[in-house]
Copies of this chain bind each other. A is one copy, B any other.
C-alpha cells in the first residue's frame, strides 16, 4: 500500500451514513459516533442518514442528521436495532452506479456504511466505481455483526452484546436445567460461523456446569454422534444442556436445516427459516427424545428446546459496556480516517498484547473485509469437536463484560 499516492486533499461536501443487515444492540452507537465526529468537521456540510441503507439512497429517502441534541443522541445510541432502518439488499455494479449518481447529484463526498461483509462489499464496489469515474468520494465501512465473522478485525462490534446475552441466557438456563433436570437444547444464531454459539461457554463457572456440549458449523456432526454425545452426558450427570448453532452441519456438509425439510412435513409450507422459527430446535428435541430415550432402554426423557431468536441481537438494556464503547469508537474513527484524506477502508480493531484488555483502531482495506468471512478457528474447538476449548474464554470474556455471578448450595 502506497500511503502517499492514496492520500487526497480534503474536500468539502455532504456525507451520507447508512445501516445495513441484521441489527445489533449497539449498531446505533456507531451511527451516533459518525454523527458526533461529522459535526466536528466543517468540510462535512450536511450529514444525511439514508433510510434503510442503500435502498433509501436509490429511492432518495434521507433524513438530516445535523444539529441533533446530545440527549436524543445518547438515547439513540442506547437503543437496539438500526435507527435509520436497515436493508437486505446486496447491490451489484448497476445498483452501485445508481448510488454514485445520487451522490454526485447531491455533492456527497463521504459515505459511511455500517454493516457486515456484504456492506463492506457494497462500499468496495462504490469506491471502485467512484475511482473509475474520477469522482472524489471517501467510502468507509464500519463493522457491525453479531456473527463476529469479519476478516482482519480482532472482533466485531455487536458481537460482545450478543455474546453477553447468550452467555447470561445459557447461565440461567443451566441453573433451570439443574433445578428440573432433563435435556435442554438451545439454538443460537450463526448460519455459517460458530462465534456466537461459542460464547455460551462463558456460562460455565464450575466443571459440571452447562453447556455440556457445544456444536458449531465449523465442526460437522452426524445425527448419530449428536445422539451419542447427549446420551453420554445424560448418563453421567442426569441432565444435559446443549448449545447448537442454527447452522450446524452434518459430515457431508449438509446443514441440519436440510434434514428437517427432508424428514418432516414442514417443507410443504415453504422454506425453513433458521431464525425466527423453532423448527431446528423442535427437530433436535424430537430426535433426542426418540433416540436417546431408546438408548436408555425406552426411558421417557424430559427434553426441551429454546431458539433464542432475535432476542440475541436486539434485546434492550443488556448491551456489553465494552461493546457499546467500541461500537461508538468505530463510528468516530471512520470519520477521522476520512478526514485524514484516505479514500476509503474498513475500520478494524486490534487487541493490545498483555494481560489487560485494550484495543487500537486501524484502517483495513475494503477488499480485505468484503465478501468472505472468518470462521471460528479450529484452536477454539475442543479436539472432540463437540465443545469449545477453555482458551476461548480469554478471547471472548473481555468482549461481553462482567457476567452475573452464580451461587450454589451444597
Binding site for B on A (CB under 8 A): 19, 22-23, 25, 28, 49, 51-52, 63, 65, 68, 72-88, 168-169, 171-173, 175-176, 178-180, 184, 264-266, 269-270, 273, 275-279, 281-282, 285-286, 289, 303-311, 313-318, 403-410
Q: Which 4 A-B pairs have the closest CB atoms?
A: A278-B278, A276-B304, A75-B407, A76-B407
Beta-carbon contact of A168 and B304 below 8 Å: no
Taken together, the copies of this chain in the complex come to 2
Residues from chain B with Cβ under 8 Å of A176 in the complex: 23, 80-81, 310, 313-314
State A77–B406 Cα separation when bound (angstroms). Answer: 9
Of all chain B residues, the one with the shortest Cβ separation from A304 is B276
Beta-carbon contact of B317 and A318 below 8 Å: yes
Beta-carbon contact of B179 and A86 below 8 Å: yes
Within 8 Å by CB of A172, from B19, B81, B277, B410, lies B81
Residues from chain B with Cβ under 8 Å of A273 in the complex: 304
State A87–B302 Cα separation when bound (angstroms). Answer: 13
Residues from chain B with Cβ under 8 Å of A409 in the complex: 49, 63, 65, 68, 76, 83-84
Given contacts A180-B86, A277-B282, contact A314 B270 (CB under 8 A): no
Of all chain B residues, the one with the shortest Cβ separation from A273 is B304
- Given contact pairs A75-B406, A79-B405, a sample of 13 additional A-B residue pairs in the complex whose CB atoms are under 8 Å apart: A28-B407, A52-B179, A74-B407, A77-B407, A81-B176, A86-B180, A168-B317, A171-B316, A172-B316, A176-B314, A266-B282, A275-B304, A278-B282
Task: Give chain B nearest CB distance to A403 CB in angstroms.
Answer: 7
Within 8 Å by CB of A316, from B65, B78, B175, B313, lies B175
Beta-carbon contact of A180 and B88 below 8 Å: yes
State A289–B268 Cα separation when bound (angstroms). Answer: 13
State A285–B272 Cα separation when bound (angstroms). Answer: 12
State A79–B405 Cα separation when bound (angstroms). Answer: 7
Given contacts A168-B316, A279-B282, contact A179 B23 (CB under 8 A): yes
Residues from chain B with Cβ under 8 Å of A85 in the complex: 178-180
